Structure 1
Amino acid sequence: MNIAARAGDAFAGAMGMEGMEGMEMKGRLRLLFRGSLREQGWGGTVDFGVGQTGRAWVLTDVSLVVKKSDLDPDAVTARLGLQPTAVRAPGEDRWGPPGEIDGQWRLQCDEHTARKLSEQLDEILLLAERCAPQLREMMAEGFEVCLAVHGFADNDSRALFSSPAISRIASLGFPLLLKPNLNAR
């Protein structure tokens, strides 16, 4: 099941909602959820886990993703001054979701670079903050830009984000896409 929600002053309906629905937090931070998630608390961390005492997501990675139907990966690389870890030209992708035809430029930090999700997020945020003006210009030109967090989760897994990390993400002005893999490893 794909569910989505945008964080609002009150996290409403992150469970059982289908499609890309939700609210926006103070007009700046949009959190998009894919998978079966439930908000568990609000305080020093943002906790999108399912259980109260669960383990952290495992085999996580954090990516800065730029997409567009006519994306030229070399032009994005030149514009941002960053080398991507992966690119995909526009068109059908036999490994991607059906109907996904946008080209994609991706800068990824995974467990080979940093073990903890917080360290992976910090690594990508440092690079995204460095080229934030260019990313905002690209968004104004019709590019889709987001931070994507992937990881394996089970019934009692949690993904924790500190308040400073959430503030940094919000200041960038593009969505944080949470993509838990709920399959057994």
Structure 2
Amino acid sequence: MYSEISQIEAIPNIPDDVDLAVKSGTNLCKNLLEPIQDALGRISIRSAYRSQAVNAKGAENKNQYNCASNESNYAKHIWDVKDKDGYTGATACIIVNSFLPYYTKTEDWTALAWWIHDNIDAYAEMVFFPKYATFNITWSENPKRSKWIYSYVKNPHTGKAGYLTKQGMDNFEGSHEQFYRKFIEELIVN
């Protein structure tokens, strides 16, 4: 429930539909955050639930807070409103703490993205940001939702930002272990 925008702007960050927010948040935790933490160690949550009022203020001041519109955040950061198709969902912006040494050394965020893609089936989308390999990860109750991984950081293997993968791309299926093997080996040693 904590929100920097809420604190700075003195806007309460309280759900309109508490039951839906709890349901969505529980699924995010149970299906994504806890399995990642169980496998890779502690995570830090930078941003998660936002009320409609808090998110609207963040979208209004996009250069300062960098939030997308309410409509595009329903069933994402706004957990207590279903998306346009009537599905629930939830997003959290996280840091996988054990990944930081590897990322600092290599600047290869794709190792973490591919590990999650291969090992955590319940994600709907991931969006990576430049600082600390921070990323948004989304759970959705819509089983037909397209899975994808996008980054604002250049892929060290291609030199381009944008989609790492999405359904229909040649690299979507199969194992991607070659991209994260070194990270996992270093994690086990340490």
Q: Counting strand residues as a fraction of each chain, which structure ranks higher?
A: 1
- Considering Cα pairs closer than 8 Å and 6+ residues apart, tell me whether 1 or 2 has the greater RCO: 1
TM range (shorter): under 0.3
After TM superposition, the score normalised by the length of structure 1 is: 0.23
Q: Counting helix residues as a fraction of each chain, which structure ranks higher?
A: 2
After TM superposition, the score normalised by the length of structure 2 is: 0.23
